[in-house]
Chain A
């Protein structure tokens, strides 16, 4: 195996206000999970490390805080749910004890009280017969129910921010919608900030307030959700939108962005998207890294020719 440093994430920055939903969109391997794990402070290191950056939470830079303080923020203020609830839950402990653990550790509650709270939370996320199932193990639940348990665990301490890393990718389509509805509802009720990580543009339209599109570990476009759907300002976003299956396109071939996402050990020079970009101008795009241009109120695009992309359709 050859060693080397992969810049999994580079210059990513996003902001989230209370009660807001930010969707982070990108093909798999584009660095969405690494970014999320860096925010929560659970990036596996080694191999991962964060050479520079900051995560500001209510003004504090989390990355500069001592580990003990970060630990208090994790779970209590910033919580996370993962794609595969089956592997994300510990197989040898009951779901009740895994949910209740939040109260036992962070609130010093007794076992009996924590169990009671776990049942309440399981009710809240609409797990049928919560009282009877609290002592069951993760493998005894269906995929959707397991993700509900993850959600119950993550919202146990009423966090300010919930990061959901592809929470529905592993689920059936009907169950996906139910889980998204549940997340949206909990978020509204609790005024939580929600970072919804996904590679599926379809799921974000209804729930997100704004979208950050990631490519090769960078944010290439950032915009309020309706604007991005109406008029993307980056060729990559445009390609993603064009590749969503639509009812009125039945029978036609689905559009796909040509080429493959880059290997992070060898990110292309200049604009990392240039090998796949229909707007490319060889002289500029292959040499100059595009910054995140300000392209409108609360909008940014990392494309030298964003105006052209905004104006015309070159699909």
Chain B
């Protein structure tokens, strides 16, 4: 296992360079002129434009810009925004907020999703099962901003009025993250519940569960020891991917709930054509995804002894 992890870490290097190169290329070839965007409707004197282009190396060939950017990155320098702020500062302000949101959403997803999936899977065709099926179908078929606004208006506002949960901003500590966490988790939660349900009911029909029953084991032991563990193997894969996705912030959710996280930052960055900001964020996102998939593969091997990497 140790050797496998080491090999995977090594494999990350070319993947990392490949993806950052692509991102850099995409941002580089964006239509429009960032310097002009900076000044909005006003047209600055040509000397000012030239000076800014010079300062940010905007006239260098693409490959030179990429090389400079990467070498700065490895010295811990993410560059500066066009307004002169350190990109690293912007990131370290926004990311902790998004991570808190991600943790809240992940906890909500895991608890509600798995419990709902298990209850539905154990009793196929029951009221709970149908409730889970219908509600998850609704959630996955609605666009996230519809869910977001619905929750914000129908649940968030009444709760906020009674002072139970804040429905905007992050001034209320962890309580600020409950509603946006719920919205952010909703779609993954629905998929997780369905996956858990089908995985569990499929495993309940498996031969080894029949064996466990034939051994005279109590039903609780048959379910917990001989069904749940096996059913959770695909579930863990999905969770790992979700963790990566959630950590990347959420443009829609953060906007609706007015949360100054990474999702909103990247949105503004794209609007203002902030090349170094967008590239900086996506670079970190790439790293997060790479580590999340590694985590999934390691967990997979821990849960399923048939999988051996070495």
Contact = CB atoms under 8 A, between A and B. Distances in A.
Contact of A71 (B218, B229, B305): B218
Interface string B267-308: 000000000000000000000000000000000000111100
A259 B88 CA distance: 78
Interface in A9-42: 37, 40, 42
A90 B211 contact: yes
A187 interface: no
B214 A42 contact: yes
A158 interface: no
Interface string B181-211: 0000000000000000000000001111011
Contacts of A73: 216
A91 B229 CA distance: 10
B208 A75 contact: no
B214 A79 contact: yes
A129 interface: no
B215 interface: yes
Report whether over half of chain B's contact residues are helix, strand or loop; otherwise say mixed.
Answer: helix
A198 interface: no
Contacts of A71: 216-218
Interface residues of A, number: 29
A101 B207 contact: no
B214 A92 contact: no
Contacts of A106: 216
A90 B214 contact: no
A154 to B, nearest CB: 8
B217 A105 contact: yes
B90 interface: no
B215 A92 contact: no
B230 interface: yes
Contacts of A92: 229-230, 303-305
19 contacts: A37-B210, A40-B214, A42-B210, A73-B216, A75-B214, A75-B216, A76-B216, A84-B207, A87-B208, A88-B208, A88-B210, A88-B211, A90-B211, A91-B230, A91-B306, A92-B229, A92-B230, A105-B217, A150-B211
Interface of B: 205-208, 210-218, 221, 225-226, 229-230, 303-306
